[in-house]
Amino acid sequence: MINLFGRDKERRTADTANDRLSLVLSYQRTEIDEKKLKHFRARLIELCDEFGYDVVGQVEIRPQTGRDRTTVIFASIPIRRRDSVRESL
């Protein structure tokens, strides 16, 4: 297989994406409880910790109501790999 973008398939994208994870979810209700959003934010931080990343800034959670009784949740998480020495890219 020819790789047109000059990237190794094995390279982790979080190391090259400005150290920011992004997540988009579709929620099947038009309104979301603020307490659930806070719990969601806390759980995202816990997951980053479990996978070896430190959250190094503010986690942004932005819900937007869609047309068909759904809410789309956008999350942006600034992270840094816990090990201080990164593999050279």
6: left (phi over 0), alpha (psi -120 to 50) or beta: left
Q: Has this prediction a pTM greater than 0.85?
A: no
Give the CA distances from residue 22 to residues 4, 13, 60, 73, in Å, rounded to whole numbers and listed in that order. 24, 11, 10, 11
> pLDDT in tens for each of the 89 residues of the chain?
444 455 455 555 445 545 788 888 887 877 788 898 899 999 999 999 999 999 988 889 888 887 788 888 899 999 888 875 455 44
**Which amino acid is residue 13, in one-letter code?**
T
Question: 7: how many CB neighbours lie within 10 A of its CB?
Answer: 11
